[in-house]
Structure 1
Amino acid sequence: MTRNLNLPITLREYLPSEIIVDGRVVSKNLREFNLSEEWLECQLRLYGIESKEKVIYAELQSDGSLYVNKK
């Protein structure tokens, strides 16, 4: 017997993906999601980061937000 648990379904805008690793942009992933370096620079400025070289890791989250870990 199959039972429906009525769990909410969360639709993902994106699959989580690396965007910056050790200060270097993963350009392939930006292109895959039709995002530009300008978009990335704007996002980093929202975190008070002026240079991608100051980021150890950044990831595009499933909701479209950016997770950033500074050096």
Structure 2
Amino acid sequence: MTVQIDVPVQELEDKGHWLRKFRRAKNLNTLQLMVSNAIDRHHTAPSIAAAIYLAECQRERELEQGRLLDR
């Protein structure tokens, strides 16, 4: 059973929101699954998709550098 939480659109358009979610991913495979799921849900809103993409890029760089947790 999945719990749906209503998040304001302004927060979904914020890269920081997605980056916090994506920091739960400890490897690239998990990150790809999380991003794919997020894009499937929000592909109709370009501003949200852009925030997801930017957060994905940053998290990929962090994983490549070996950073697993937020500061």
TM-score where L is the length of structure 2: 0.32
Structure number with higher helix proportion: 2
Greater Rg by CA: 1
TM-score where L is the length of structure 1: 0.32
Structure number with higher strand proportion: 1
